[in-house]
Structure 1
Amino acid sequence: MMGEFDAIRPYADAEVPAVLQRLIADAGFLDILTRFRFPRLAGPLGWLLKPLIAMRLRTEFARIDSVAALQTKIETYVDRTIERATDGVTYSGLEQLRPGKAYLFLANHRDIVMDPAFVNYAIYHAGLRTPRIAIGDNLLQRPFVSDLMRLNKSFIVHRSLSGRREKLAAYQLLSAYINHSIREEGESIWIAQAEGRAKDGDDRTDSAILKMFHMSRRDEPFAEAVKSLNLIPVSISYEYDPCDQAKARELYTRATTGSYTKAPGEDDQSIALGITGYKGRVHIHFGAPLEASPEDAKQLAAEIDRQILGNYRLFPAHHLAYEQYAGRDPELQVPTAAQLFSAEEIARAEAEWQKRLAACPEEQRPYLVLQYANPVRNRYRVKAGLPL
């Protein structure tokens, strides 16, 4: 039955033991784990540590025979990472979700791994079934990364195709899979509102993604097809972005040279920094289910933006950046940080914000400011009913 989706779907329970064995035997995977666990010793003693880590993994994952059991096992590691790299995670809006109902979670996108991880974290701790996660094939350069992600309920979005016909076929398959997952199998889906991260902090829904949801159901009106997917806009807000310096550098390079070429291994670095880097506080808001869907993708994108931006939690650093932002609109009524936060909170944010500015080369600073100022501008424009 699922044959047509084999190339992109997550692994099924029956496949888990064999894939785990394959991972434990993968030299690249063991190398990364060794460097992560023992950064200083990995070079000189890697030959000794790798077999020990493989042995430990074999023992630890010996009885894992389903995706749910694997997620329960991994959860303790995720919780530990979150404790180390954040000042706490809060979430709101989960009370609107009904157990046993499948949803399409459409979220803003800042971090490759942690965006869906935080959404999963919130849903898992609420006692609901975690969603399947859309991940671009550009991040799956090595077989073990693909195995790891597909074990954790990820499915593949083919982005690196160049031919128009191939792209169309890939989108058609993706659309069919998302609809099949939600409507037939009762399994929720998480997908970002646009391809790639919003590096300038300007979160916008790409209407092409919304059209893709409808592609495999052309026999139904657009509004009806979207309504059946139970779409929920999700706002993910980080107090600090561990990758903000790298994003500022990329934005500056694009603005001054017209293009930006990623260095080999740059995605791997972004993933590692995104997971382990300091984020301050994190808030995830689950918006209201879209009961009545507009008739076309542009209107629907505007409604999703209204929810994602309107429910985005702003922290003191966002306001401090907005106060420095050269492009702010004098007509827009935006309260100052001092009007919204305690003196203690502002003092803490000031210290961290100044540290980040100091670490950023002067010519790139406007692009660092922009990342934190844009959510403020967008939220208050939405509040005032102004166009974005």
Structure 2
Amino acid sequence: MTDTPAGPTAPDPWAAIRPYQDSEVADVLARLASDRELLDALTRYRLPRLSRSLPWLARGLASHAIRRQTRDVTGVRDFQLRVAYYMERMIRTSTDDFRVEGLEHLPPEGAYLFIGNHRDISLDPAFVNYALHLAGRDTVRIAIGDNLLKKPYVTDLMRLNKSFIVPRALRGKRAMLAAYQTLSDYIRHSIVEDQHSIWMAQREGRAKDGIDRTDTAIIKMLTMARRREDRAAPIGEAIAELRLVPVSISYEYDPCDLQKARELHAIHSQGRYEKSKFEDIQSIVAGITGHKGRVQLRFGRPLGPGFDTPEAVAAEIDRQVIGGYELFPSHYLALEALGDAPELVDLSQVSSADRARFQARLKEVPAELHPWWLAQYANPVRNKAERLADCSLGDA
């Protein structure tokens, strides 16, 4: 899990966006232990009464706890082993089952660019990392949008956990182009030179409506580094060099489904949605602590060089992501409740306990949000059926 590159020290063109290295960990941990915003956030969550009555004491206790918990952390691997401990506890308390498929088909030698569907801000790559950790493999570097890094302590925590920063807040085409070129260079360097795997989402932001589609702009960004070096390089070769592997993650229940339904309803009814100040942080906490039922993670097959356009690459990622997506009883029950595609509803594996659990969750959803809440679970069934129909037409 180490993230310290070998070789002599050289100018670091990615210092502003890359994950922290072992040599930086001690200073970052010391900074976190005295970060007032982080301490206040922790005490509001863990010591709510004390944080209101004696905030200075609550902050002191939180700072002491951070120093005690990290006293033996000397590098990135040590920090991630602490994360693995909490990940194991989270899986025990908030999931009914976690299964991994397809990793056995990927040789452990070399690095991969894992591109997956995106449902949870922090857990999607965390489950990938945990699966790799259980298999005795190194963890990934994680692409994270700078829109989530509004607080210095959040940036520090994410970069300690091997996250690198994807620019989203820049203005102007030149600035964005330069930033994407740097990002593309870093991703290629990580895969080809460092031999260090990467995880990134197939598009910006979570798929709040349950529809997984790859943004071709991401594919274009990924090929920029190779094609700057060799303008004649085919897109397929640039992608094959990165050893791109589609990844599907499926949650039986999404702890943030109600919040996503509110957002979709607001956009539909008012034309816009304004996030609250700490909404992304609250979504991260809700995703980690909320009940998820069963979780399925499926690794696909690496893409070869036989692609001529970004659209063709995106279509293959979509094919593997949707094909590898696991449909749980919650998905079929949601489609049944909507009542608009009865021919796709398969209740053969739905038990009375599944139905009772689903109905209990639905009762907690305000009536005006039902269509949006249900669509999140029903759309993957439609997507899979549509993909199967497209494959059948292609074979005809």
Per the TM superposition, whether the score is higher than 0.5 is yes
Cα deviation digits, residues 78-103 of structure 1 (max 9, x gap): 21122211112111111022223100
The answer for the alignment partner of 1:359 in structure 2 is 364
The answer for the alignment partner of 2:389 in structure 1 is 384
The answer for the alignment partner of 1:201 in structure 2 is 210
Q: Which amino acid aligns with 1:28?
A: E
Point out the more displaced range, 214-223 or 367-376. Answer: 214-223
Alpha-carbon distance, 1:175 to partner: 0.6
Alpha-carbon distance, 1:300 to partner: 1.0
Matched, 1:132 2:137: no
Alpha-carbon distance, 1:382 to partner: 1.6
Residues 106, 301 of structure 2: 8 Å contact kept: no
Alpha-carbon distance, 1:118 to partner: 0.8
Of 43, 60, 66, which residue of structure 2 is paired with 1:57? 66
Q: What TM-score comes out, normalization by structure 1 length?
A: 0.94
Q: Determine helix, strand or coil for the equivalent of 2:28.
A: helix
Of 373, 381, 389, which residue of structure 2 is paired with 1:368? 373
Q: What TM-score comes out, normalization by structure 2 length?
A: 0.92
Residues 134, 156 of structure 1: 8 Å contact kept: yes
Q: Which amino acid aligns with 1:182?
A: I
Distance of 1:109 and 1:326 partners within structure 2: 26
Distance of 1:76 and 1:83 partners within structure 2: 11
Of 336, 342, 345, which residue of structure 1 is paired with 2:346? 336
Alpha-carbon distance, 1:133 to partner: 0.1
* Aligned residues between the structures: 379
The answer for the alignment partner of 2:106 in structure 1 is 97
The answer for the alignment partner of 1:33 in structure 2 is 42
The answer for the alignment partner of 1:169 in structure 2 is 178
Point out the more displaced range, 284-293 or 174-183. Answer: 284-293
The answer for the alignment partner of 1:69 in structure 2 is 78
Distance of 1:204 and 1:95 partners within structure 2: 26
Of 212, 230, 239, which residue of structure 2 is paired with 1:226? 239
The answer for the alignment partner of 1:286 in structure 2 is 299
Cα deviation digits, residues 37-59 of structure 1 (max 9, x gap): 33444322442232123223223
Residues 226, 293 of structure 1: 8 Å contact kept: no
Alpha-carbon distance, 1:349 to partner: 2.1
Alpha-carbon distance, 1:376 to partner: 0.6
1:277-316 alignment, distance < 5 Å: 277-316=290-329
Q: Determine helix, strand or coil for the equivalent of 1:88.
A: strand
Point out the more displaced range, 67-76 or 48-57. Answer: 48-57
Alpha-carbon distance, 1:380 to partner: 1.9
The answer for the alignment partner of 2:188 in structure 1 is 179
Q: Which amino acid aligns with 2:344?
A: V
Distance change in 2, residues 1:39/1:100 (3 Å): farther
Mark the runs of 5 or more structure 1 residues left unpaired by the alignment.
Answer: none
Distance change in 2, residues 1:2/1:251 (3 Å): farther
Identity of aligned residues (%): 52
Distance of 1:42 and 1:81 partners within structure 2: 25
Q: Determine helix, strand or coil for the equivalent of 2:13.
A: helix
